[in-house]
Structure 1
């Protein structure tokens, strides 16, 4: 379970997160959505124990992220928006490094790597330097690294970004399986149809504030819209702007 209470994050004089609160239950996929610069990725880094909060309280499986970030990192599987990898290593070497940091036995690591590598179809890249891989393949390496230790909590920031359709489908099915196992999952994506399909509840963050929260159906009903995408655009004041831009482009061409 994840509990966020009045979370604040500032960088210098700039407030990036302005007192947001939400809860993610065990066995729940919570979609944290927001436009670029909204504070979404910063929030997820705090949940993962990577960035300290400036105020408020965050508990991940009962552990205070400010007081014990290392313990939070131990139980969390985190996939960042942009893969952060050692590009001078091969995937084989990188997974071995991750396994040693996570304390995974050699036999257990080999079994988990083999299973995940086969699922995401990167068998032919295991001995290539990570720096030479495509963005999509790097993303798969990042996802596999985040799942190797069987984390109790998953923080997935744009995890399907750059994935081919097959791998994106596998990722969505894995999320459903993790939910059935009782894991708490925070998931962000700019593909709102995916969020609508896989998330139990959704929180929309805008300018550092949580402006709406509920199931996709509740949000659609509240905003009198037919899709989560339309809800998002309406609540973030983008709908009229998008319509205006599209109209101007049509007239130009």
Structure 2
């Protein structure tokens, strides 16, 4: 990654509010980000901090926001459809066409992206094999476990070779081997110049794979840098401890003890 490269994601003064009856809940309160090609961004924060909202906005799924967002140099408001052709989105949960098989569903996704027929076939077979799903390629998706469905979602987000991959808790339900595979895939994709925007609660994975970690708290950026840079300031020793210090969420041991006592009494 070269320092003079233009950002593939540029966010300025991003704000987002939700209306709850007469009350307005501001989730994002002025996010500024510039992300270069080839970076793996670990996007972390407490529940309700605005992680998923940020990802959905960047993917063009939430058009009602304040501020300026450019993806691959294109204004998100004016070029949402064109941007969606060049990005991949892997959420924690998404609706699948349950009556289809993985081959049928992935064929459909490939055709939506106007991929060549042979390229679709090659990618499907290669990725199903990589995720140990070839034996289930012709079974109906409604018979799949959460982890199996998540594998198909991951494949569908990668099949068209996107320039940017947005991932929102992508490892949910995966077995240990699949987690390792996903981590290796992301590292390789970053080496090829792809950008990965990775939102997760799994701190050890974020710590190991991320070139840059962005922590948001209460709708604002609380920390931004590599783990080594952030750790050198706070000397926490781990991302989990650093997260606790920066967000002020102490007392986990005491809470666990109280929960155990509640069961015993």
TM bucket, shorter chain:
over 0.9
**Gaps in structure 1 of 5+ consecutive residues:** none
1:115 corresponding residue in structure 2:
126
Superposed displacement of residue 246, structure 1:
2.7
1:4 corresponding residue in structure 2:
11
1:244 aligns with 2:254: yes
How far apart in 2 are the matches of 1:205 and 1:58?
Answer: 17
1:72 aligns with 2:79: no
8 Å CA contact 1:84–1:142 kept in 2: the answer is no
Deviations 1:187-214 (A, max 9, x none): 1221101111000111111222111111
Aligned pair count reads 252
Which of 25, 35, 41 pairs up with 1:24?
Answer: 35
Superposed displacement of residue 249, structure 1:
4.3
8 Å CA contact 2:92–2:171 kept in 1: the answer is no
Which of 84, 88, 94 pairs up with 2:99?
Answer: 88
Deviations 1:113-159 (A, max 9, x none): 11100000111222222122100000000000001110011101111
Provide TM-score, normalisation by structure 2: 0.91
8 Å CA contact 1:7–1:53 kept in 2: the answer is no
Alignment of 1:1-253 (within 5 A): 1-12=8-19, 13-240=24-251, 242-249=252-259
Runs of 4+ in 1 over 4 A off after TM superposition: 249-253
How far apart in 1 are the matches of 2:204 and 2:244?
Answer: 13
How far apart in 2 are the matches of 1:135 and 1:246?
Answer: 28
DSSP 3-state at the match of 2:153:
helix
Superposed displacement of residue 234, structure 1:
1.6
DSSP 3-state at the match of 2:193:
coil
Provide TM-score, normalisation by structure 1: 0.95
User: Which of 84-93 and 173-182 deviates more?
Assistant: 84-93
